């Protein structure tokens, strides 16, 4: 099965900073990569699908990119409401594996 | 609006069975793939199973294959997860998730609040 390696596992940044989270697939998955945000005590929310398409209503400060089997979620101008854990998920074929998650905190 | 409401969780001893139900509304149930995902306390997300919109395809995580069965009742707009031979490591909050398309290969665009399953003697 394809493994999804997400890094870092946690990060702390200041309001207004640019934050980068990376997810690496162990094999080619095309653009079949989604990013989710899970705020504390809440259910996950789909942010991005097909690697770079923003789900409706997601602020434009969130951006997804792909380079081969490496995927990146970038949050520009980090806001206090962006605190939470971010997960990637591959969905090209089953199993639809999640990455281990990245917890984002505000300094 | 899309609504997904899970029920059926509880405390069960190892080896027993549970059946989870997801009541859905606000969308045309038969036109979307549906997933189950889980999150153990304090842990990350784990995808569990998917059922395609036509009901012909089901896929499972290796950790539950042969023990869990995903199914649906289109007349009730309901999704189910039959969980047999439960183990302590199945303890988690189980979420019903709508896929973003009819196909089993789809991300989850709407998540239910979840129902808690605890497996312990």
Higher pLDDT, B48 or B106: B48
3-state secondary structure of A82: helix
Q: How far is A22 from chain B (nearest CA, A)?
A: 16
Question: Any chain B CB within 8 A of the CB of A35?
Answer: no
* Residue range B78-90: mean pLDDT, rounded: 98
B46 DSSP β-pair partners = B38
A46/B45 Cβ within 8 A: no
CA B99 to chain centre: 12
β A84-90/A53-54 pair status: unpaired
> Measured between CB atoms, which of B44, B59, B109 is closest to A98?
B44
The mean of the pLDDT values for chain B is 97
- What pLDDT score does A6 carry? 98
Closest chain A CA to residue B114: A43
Beta bridge pairs of residue B69: B82
Give B-chain residues touching A99 at CB under 8 angstroms.
44
Chain B residues in contact with A98 by the CB 8 A cut-off are 44-47
Model confidence over A79-96: pLDDT tens digits?
999 999 999 999 999 999
H or E segment and range at residue B84: none
């Amino acid at each position: 099965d394809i493994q999804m390696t997400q890094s870092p596992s946690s990060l702390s940044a200041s309001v207004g900073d640019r934050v980068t989270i990376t997810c690496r697939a162990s094999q080619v998955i095309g653009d079949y990569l989604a990013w989710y945000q899970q705020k504390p005590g809440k259910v996950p929310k789909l942010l991005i699908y097909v690697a770079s398409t923003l789900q409706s209503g997601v602020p434009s400060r969130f951006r997804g990119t792909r380079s081969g089997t490496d995927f990146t979620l970038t949050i520009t101008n980090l806001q206090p409401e962006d605190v939470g854990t971010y997960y990637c998920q591959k969905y090209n074929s089953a199993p639809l594996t999640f990455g281990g998650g990245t917890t984002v905190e505000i300094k | 609006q899309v609504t997904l409401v899970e029920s059926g969780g509880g405390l069960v001893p190892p080896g027993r069975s549970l059946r989870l139900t997801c009541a859905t509304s606000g969308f045309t149930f038969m036109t979307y793939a549906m997933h189950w995902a889980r999150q153990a306390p304090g842990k990350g997300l784990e995808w569990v199973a998917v059922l395609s919109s036509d009901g012909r395809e089901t896929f499972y995580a290796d950790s539950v294959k042969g023990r869990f069965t995903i199914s649906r009742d289109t007349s009730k707009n309901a999704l189910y997860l039959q969980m047999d031979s439960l183990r302590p490591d199945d303890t988690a909050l189980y979420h019903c998730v709508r896929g973003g398309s009819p196909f089993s290969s789809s991300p989850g665009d709407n998540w239910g609040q979840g129902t808690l399953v605890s497996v312990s003697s």
